[in-house]
Amino acid sequence: MQHAFPPLKLAGRSLLPIVQGGMGVGISAKRLAGAVAAAGGVGTIASVDLRHLHEDLVAQSKPLKDQASLDALNLIALDREVRAARAAADGRGLVAVNVMKAVDAHAAYVRQACESGADAIVMGAGLPLDLPEMAADHPQVALIPILSESRGIGIVLKRWMKKGRLPDAIVIEHPKHAGGHLGAAKIADLSDAKFDFRRVLEETFELFKSLGLEREAVPLIVAGGVNSHEKVRTYLADYGASAVQVGTAFAVTREGDAHDNFKEVLANARPEDIGEFMSVAGLPARGVLTPFLKSYLKREDKLQANAKADPARCTQGLNCLTVCGLRDGLNKVGQFCIDLKLAAAFRGEVSKGLFFRGAEPLPFGNAIRSARELIDYLLTGRMPADLHTA
């Protein structure tokens, strides 16, 4: 694909400077990650609860009552997804696995992803200070933390450098624009100027200098609100980023792994249909105001007032997250089972699901197009001939 930008140098490869963000449950799995990698970019599998993509594993999970047994099934699913994505990529691009630090079994997911042949591990939803130890037996696997501001980047860099390891790249995610779990302490912080891409990039380049690192030592990948060729050009050519990460726009492509209803909900959401709330993991989140989310937000004050630490309150009676507002009685964060709600969204159950989404309009409006067309538009500005979306 002909374009004007330098390649992303990662894991010894020259790649398109396009990274597909990890989206779970099951939104970015083998089909989407494999398609993006086959096009020459970085395709990312979201590791959380992938058993929902495999009928045999779903059937096996129904009688189970303990998290360890469910985790074992999820590891089987993760292995299947990574191997299938790599087969689809056929040696092109790069297949990464996104692992949330907030998930209790995150270390096991990292090890499984490495053993299954993932080219990279991307970790967010918490400071991944011990990621090098988790992947120590697989030095060829690229390690990529997700952070949102230069202070966090400094903490991770200094800790990793003491271990003799640099991140292979860093994703800088802007909480004001991204979907999913957002890197701010509370909703009011989402618009804080410390998250502005230009500022974070400039501060990070200064940090590199203070640590004796070259400007190009660690590729910086900006994420959140990347929905046009013009933004890609600004971030790469003007701000000095090495690549962009895109989530929601990839979720609604033909290759997206979720149900078509899921894609339609995301693609047809207007700005007034998108709202911020506190997730059960204690981080702000952004999602489409579906019947479930509207109903929940109306009842949120009452639910939070009655929050109490009691494992029996967990809808599934499990311990999937390290911290859970529902299970742990944290009255300032979400009081619902996120696993059930994300799984419902994956299945396209509009009335029950929780549909995470970025804040910006999509490049092709509500049209469902291919991952390759999206990549081509972002890198070249060429809109598909039959579309005239501004």
- Per-residue pLDDT band for 318 (boundaries 50, 70, 90) equals low
Asked if 126 and 173 touch (Cβ cutoff 8 Å), the reply is no
Structural domain tally of the chain? 2
More confident: 161 or 69: 161
pLDDT of residue 67: 79
Supply φ then ψ for residue 271, to 5 degrees.
-50, -40
Q: CA-CA distance, 254 to 345, in Å (whole number)?
A: 17
- 21 and 48 share one domain: yes
Q: Is residue 351 part of a domain?
A: no
Q: Is residue 353 part of a domain?
A: no
pLDDT of residue 390: 45
- 180 and 284 share one domain: no
Q: What is the CATH number of the domain that holds 134?
A: 3.20.20.70
Q: Is residue 320 part of a domain?
A: yes
Local structure of 291: helix, strand or coil: helix
- 148 and 208 share one domain: yes
CA distances from 125 to 65, 128, 283 (A): 26, 9, 8
For residue 202, what are the domain limits?
8-266+360-380
Q: Is residue 40 part of a domain?
A: yes
- 313 and 215 share one domain: no
- 261 and 375 share one domain: yes
* Beta strand 8-10 pairing with 13-15: antiparallel
- 320 and 210 share one domain: no
- Per-residue pLDDT band for 175 (boundaries 50, 70, 90) equals very high
Lowest-pLDDT choice from 105-114, 143-152, 303-312: 303-312
pLDDT of residue 315: 61
pTM for this one?
Answer: 0.94
Q: Is residue 352 part of a domain?
A: no
* Contacts (Cβ under 8 Å, ≥6 apart) of 65: 317
Q: Is residue 323 part of a domain?
A: yes
Q: Is residue 236 part of a domain?
A: yes
E strands, 106-148, are 120-124, 142-147
- 334 and 370 share one domain: no
The percent of residues in the chain predicted with pLDDT above 70, rounded, is 97
pLDDT of residue 182: 83
- 278 and 261 share one domain: no
Supply φ then ψ for residue 98, to 5 degrees.
-90, 125
Neighbours of 347 (CB within 10 A): 17
CA distances from 111 to 15, 99, 117, 219 (A): 25, 11, 10, 24
Q: Which two tokens stand for residue 248?
A: 């929601």
For 173, which DSSP code? E
- 232 and 326 share one domain: no
Q: CA-CA distance, 358 to 387, in Å (whole number)?
A: 22
